[in-house]
Structure 1
Amino acid sequence: MPNKIRPTLKRLSLKSRLVLAAIVWLTAMVFAAGISVPNQVLNYMVDDTKGQLNLFIDEISASIEADETGNITLANALSDPRFNRPYSGLYWSAQTDSDLLRSRSLWDKTMVSERNAKEMLGARGETLIFVKTNLYYPDYKGPIQVLIGIDEQPIKDTVRDLMSQLWVILALLYFGVLLVIMLQVQWSLSPLTKMQKELAQLRSGDKTRLDQDYPKEVSPVVSDLNALLFHYQELLERARHHGGNLSHALKTPLSVLKNEINNLDSNTQQHLLPSVEQIQSQIDYHLGRARMAGSKNILSVRSNVASRVDAISMAFDKLYANRQITLVNELDSEIDVAVEQTDLDEMVGNLLENAYKWSNTIIRVYSEPGEIGDINIIIEDDGPGIPNEDVNQVTQRGVRLDETTPGSGLGLNIVSEMAHSYRGKLSLSTSHLGGLKVTLSLKLPPNHEKHCRDSD
């Protein structure tokens, strides 16, 4: 099989494979029937005709008389009138060494043997079905060779007419059986089609589990998948719950420690504050990772990017009102991403906060088509930007290029790892505005890809 065909066959669906196998099998069977049946019918009719010719030989042998010299005569007329009609297509002849007797249908011709006696030609040169035998009589010592033949063409015409009708029957049978097989395949694979639709509903948020009404061959898979979904949701809910409890449990003691340290002398503060801040940094980092466990129902999450950017930018406009920064939101209001809203707020919030900190006057937010199934959310500013040699470092945990600006150095790292948990990615480059260009690639929800391509 050619190498180019194999990948194509591997990509065929189960339905296509079953239908293709049925087409190949049916086509082979129909052609085999179309070739073998005419030969079988022709052989049967030839054998039946030879049986009738043997009956004529019996009649001829009973009517022939021969003397000692080999002269032969036909004492009684034969029953079939075609023997007396010239060129009728039914002939006979009887021959000795000294005499030849033939039917009137041969007129003045004789039956001629062709191709080493495998074919016999009649009075009009037509191919004959023939039977030859030798008769022996008491008065004549030598054999009397009797030959009888009949035109083969009427039998071939009959077989041809029969096969023209047979091909119509075979064609109807072919398409009829193929239709039944396709219906059978459609009906047999309908549970898988149903499962595909339910999985799409599960991803779009219309369902939280699959139905149990499946055949026994598919039901165990559905049950295990439902159990896996339930277990996954329980684990995520438990992780988020414990993360929240830990955050509240540690917040108060750390605040007390910081307040007590601030009451100490400056020398002691310089020794103790870095350790407390390091503890705070570690807590923030690991709580951020706990949030990146994903959504409670990650298969069906959907968030609108434009509305979340508007909501977050309103808060930052108030926080950084003294800097008079303008944010231009060019995002399509109908673009959704497959990210839970709180996680999307976490990622977009960190990126917009960095943009507000470093931009001079303007921040631009827009989208571009990404890879198949992805959308790129792009945030650009006109700030100082990041040198190319430092781009790969700023997404690492705790890295801060400017120690004078408040922050823990965890924002971009958390965004990068959170995007990765949603099968996305974060990349940095230089903006056309002169500052930093942040590209956040995220997955589109099911049935949302075509809309985004059309709108772009």
Structure 2
Amino acid sequence: MSVGVGTLAVFSYIDTRVSDRFDTTLLDRHTQLVVGLNVATDNPEALRDLMFDPAYGAPYSGRYWQVSSRDGEIFASASLFGETIAEPRGSPDTPTIWNTLGPENEAVRSVYQLITYEDGTVWGVSVAESQDQLVEERRVTQQSLLPVFALVGLIGVAGSLLLTSVILRPLRKLRSDVAHRWDRDEDLKPSDYPEEVSPLVRDLNQLLGRNRDIVSGSRRQAADLAHALKTPTAILRNELVALSDTGTPIDTAQEALDRIDAQLARSLARMRAMNTAELTHSRTDLSNSINRLTRLFSIMAERESKTLGVSCDPDLWIRMDTQDIEEVLGNLLDNAVKWCRNSVRLAAIQQEGNIEIRIEDDGPGIPEAARREALRSGGRLDTSVTGSGLGLAIAVDLLNAYGAKLDLGRSGALGGLECKVVIQSVINTMPA
């Protein structure tokens, strides 16, 4: 934009200079006419011989002169072809430049002056030139300079882009290094950046270190809490087994204990994900995670004479912790393998800045009216299959923490449940 404004300013200056030069030339011609009339006041007709510019002799050439006496006599160049040039009001006795009309209403620029000569005669002296000449001169000047300014403009734009790139290069490097720091757990080195950026790098080191401590502490607390609860729940399960051996019914208590474990797992997963999503720039190679889960669940499916088909685009990266996305996909695959009759399909594709994961099965599916409840509370819709019923709810909690979403529908290919996960993708900037 600055180049355009500068070009317009220069063109405006050039137009002004061309106009000034045009007026200066016009004043010079006026001076020539004044000098010529000085020696021909007694015979103004002789001016046609004295003013020997060929343009004065060609009718309507665009260049004219005219002198008028006090008694109304007018002598003019042959180029006026019998017509006259208007004179300004007041008959100024100093050279006056003004715009008026010439022959056939042609727009002209004229210089007029009322002059008293030594012999006492008074004459109005005018020279005029068509404004078309001025316009043409401006056009020619602009056309001749336009390529020069275009080249200068291109050089200026290229220089600005190069300068901007050089200025932003340290910031791009800083952005990349900040993202990689979460993977390498290394401090940024202020000496790797310009002096102006070094204070920012030191502050980022402190901030990133504090965030990592918060995340690590939160995960450690969640793990410690889970570990601390395992012993009491194991004792309770052993007691239930002992009661079962005596013939006491334990089904209700067993189910209640299972739900306690599942609710604790859900709460701990939610707490872990919230801290991780807000305070880190975690990235996960989704393709690698899917391949790892596929090997595990393929074995589980084969044991039950079922099949698991997988289609995954290569090099899919998401901004989500590896443990969290694998827990989401693990829960969804576990449900699909449990509920399917014969087959399960998993597909992961890149689509318009997002990654879409579809897990489908040929089981009974979930009625449309019950899908929202299944996502919200994780209630078990059928008790014939073991489990807590909280797998979907945990998956929803983890995905929501990262701004992703889970939708349930009916599989068009297999006829059972379709779980569709949509996660924003990221570009892999990790060094090879």
**Equivalent residue number for residue 11 of structure 1:** none
Contact 1:201–1:207 under 8 Å retained in 2 = no
CA gap 1:87/1:241 in 2 versus in 1, 3 angstroms: closer
* 1:294-330 deviation digits (Å, cap 9, x = unpaired): 3785343323254123222144247xx2x31122223
The answer to whether residue 30 in structure 2 is matched with residue 50 in structure 1 is yes
**Equivalent residue number for residue 144 of structure 1:** 121
Contact 1:302–1:339 under 8 Å retained in 2 = no
**Equivalent residue number for residue 40 of structure 1:** 20
Match of 2:85 among 114, 121, 146: 114
Contact 2:26–2:127 under 8 Å retained in 1 = no
The answer to whether residue 115 in structure 2 is matched with residue 133 in structure 1 is yes
1:328 match: secondary structure: strand
CA gap 1:222/1:43 in 2 versus in 1, 3 angstroms: farther
Consecutive unaligned residues of structure 1, counting only runs of 5 or more, are 1-20, 65-71, 138-142, 449-456
Consecutive unaligned residues of structure 2, counting only runs of 5 or more, are 57-63, 89-99
Match of 1:290 among 245, 253, 271: 271
**Equivalent residue number for residue 286 of structure 2:** 303
Aligned AA for 2:300?
Answer: F
**Equivalent residue number for residue 325 of structure 1:** 306
**Equivalent residue number for residue 155 of structure 2:** 179
CA distance in 1, matches of 2:373, 2:51: 113
Identity %, equivalent residues: 23
Aligned AA for 1:420?
Answer: N
What's the CA shift for 1:244?
1.6
**Equivalent residue number for residue 83 of structure 1:** 50
What's the CA shift for 1:408?
1.7
**Equivalent residue number for residue 396 of structure 2:** 416
The answer to whether residue 408 in structure 2 is matched with residue 437 in structure 1 is no
Q: Which moved more, 1:427-436 or 1:299-308?
A: 299-308
**Equivalent residue number for residue 451 of structure 1:** none
1:446 match: secondary structure: coil
1:394 match: secondary structure: helix
Aligned AA for 1:443?
Answer: Q
Give the total of aligned pairs.
395
Q: CA RMSD in A?
A: 4.6
What's the CA shift for 1:35?
3.1
CA distance in 2, matches of 1:166, 1:225: 53
What's the CA shift for 1:399?
0.9
The answer to whether residue 332 in structure 2 is matched with residue 351 in structure 1 is yes
CA gap 1:120/1:409 in 2 versus in 1, 3 angstroms: closer
Aligned AA for 1:380?
Answer: E
What's the CA shift for 1:355?
1.6
The answer to whether residue 367 in structure 2 is matched with residue 396 in structure 1 is no
* 1:370-418 deviation digits (Å, cap 9, x = unpaired): 5x22222222222222222211111233411123432122211111121
The answer to whether residue 318 in structure 2 is matched with residue 367 in structure 1 is no
* 1:167-187 deviation digits (Å, cap 9, x = unpaired): 423541354145325523541
CA distance in 2, matches of 1:366, 1:400: 26
Contact 1:316–1:353 under 8 Å retained in 2 = no
Matches within 5 A, 1:87-98: 89=56
* 1:259-286 deviation digits (Å, cap 9, x = unpaired): 2344346669678656654543332222
Rg: which structure is higher? Answer: 1
1:292 match: secondary structure: helix
Contact 2:26–2:128 under 8 Å retained in 1 = no
Aligned AA for 2:377?
Answer: R
TM-score (norm 1): 0.68
TM-score (norm 2): 0.72
The answer to whether residue 220 in structure 2 is matched with residue 237 in structure 1 is no
What's the CA shift for 1:223?
5.9
**Equivalent residue number for residue 383 of structure 1:** 363
CA gap 1:259/1:110 in 2 versus in 1, 3 angstroms: closer
CA distance in 2, matches of 1:214, 1:284: 47
CA distance in 1, matches of 2:66, 2:383: 122
